[in-house]
Amino acid sequence: MSSSDVFHLGLTHSDLKGATLAIIPGDPQRVEKIAALMENPVHLASHREFTTWRAEISGNPVIICSTGIGGPSTSIAVEELSQLGIRTFLRVGTTGAIQSYIQVGDVLITTAAVRLDGASLHFAPVEYPAVADFDCTSALVGAAKHHRTKFHMGVTASSDTFYPGQERYDTYSGRVLNRLKGSMQEWQSLGVMNYEMESATLLTMCATQGLRAGMVAGVIVNRTLQETPDARSMQLAESVAVNIVVDAARRLII
């Protein structure tokens, strides 16, 4: 703690060099890949699920920090980065689509999240909407159009668990609680695009605290067809989403 200004990330205010925008993937292994698409990438710290690099866009510092999986660890990263001066968060990840019209390799830009998590309840009651920032969303849309990527905008279901909370039966027990059975079909009927595990926490945190947040995810599987993605689909979806989020960061900074 003595060598850093925050509890978990291992960072100081001086490490950020005045950065106000952070790109936040879940996977620590994606951080260096994202930083490499910008100028002057520098590794800052690695602690538990949190790996942080700093890079530059046209001389402006940008932070890239992994959050790990789920709302609790995401809330730690967002809290501590905001303490250090970050005011805009762009989340990038991968996701499973639940609408038949969405194809593997498409990009989903989340405008709001269904709050199926628990972490966001520590920031606002469940009636409070988890909505993305308009400027962040517009930047992501502009980037997707620039890259001529097929994208969809809409609502994401954000769950605390990967298996039962997303009504997956390919598990050790095959058990899904009665109250969750049929939940995927219900979200489909309501037009929800996909499941993931972080957006409800991120969007609620930022909306309630005067911070900006946007969310983009590459589709690695369409769950109306199958449950398990292949390696090529995962690589393609990650690459497309990462290029879009870096372009969006550029649009928000310059």
Q: In whole angstroms, how far apart are CA 160 and each of 69, 90, 117, 198, 246?
A: 9, 20, 5, 8, 27
Task: Record the pTM.
Answer: 0.97
**Could you tell me where the DSSP H helices lie in the chain?**
13-16, 28-35, 71-83, 134-146, 183-189, 199-209, 231-253
The active-site residue out of 198, 223, 238, 250 is 223
Distance CA 158, CA 184 (A): 12
Token pair of 15 as six digits:
């490490």
Distance CA 228, CA 234 (A): 10
pLDDT tens-digit readout, 179-224: 999 999 999 999 999 999 999 999 999 999 999 999 999 999 999 9
Distance CA 175, CA 44 (A): 42
Question: For residue 227, is it within any domain?
Answer: yes
Question: For residue 173, is it within any domain?
Answer: yes
Question: For residue 1, is it within any domain?
Answer: no
Residue 179: active-site member: no
The residue assigned the tokens 């005067």 is 210
Residue 152: active-site member: no
The active-site residue out of 54, 168, 212, 250 is 168
Question: For residue 4, is it within any domain?
Answer: no
Question: For residue 2, is it within any domain?
Answer: no
Q: Which residues of the chain have pLDDT under 70?
A: 1-2
Distance CA 132, CA 213 (A): 6
CATH number at residue 110: 3.40.50.1580
Question: For residue 190, is it within any domain?
Answer: yes
Contacts of 161 (CB under 8 A, 6+ apart): 197
The active-site residue out of 8, 79, 87, 251 is 8
Q: What is the widest separation between alpha-carbon atoms in the chain?
A: 54
Distance between start and end Cα atoms, the chain: 34
Question: For residue 226, is it within any domain?
Answer: yes
Strands (E), 32-149: 39-47, 50-57, 60-65, 88-97, 107-116, 130-131
Token pair of 100 as six digits:
């038949």
Phi/psi class of residue 39: alpha, beta or left (left: φ > 0; alpha: ψ in -120 to 50)? beta
Question: For residue 7, is it within any domain?
Answer: no
**Type of residue found at 104:** V
Exposed/middle/buried for residue 212 (C-beta within 10 Å: 0-12, 13-18, 19+):
buried
What is the pLDDT at residue 1? 42
In the chain, what percentage of residues exceed pLDDT 70?
99
State which residues form the domain around 197. 13-253
Q: How many domains does the chain have?
A: 1
The active-site residue out of 80, 167, 196, 198 is 80
Residue 168: active-site member: yes
What is the pLDDT at residue 64? 99
Residue 8: active-site member: yes
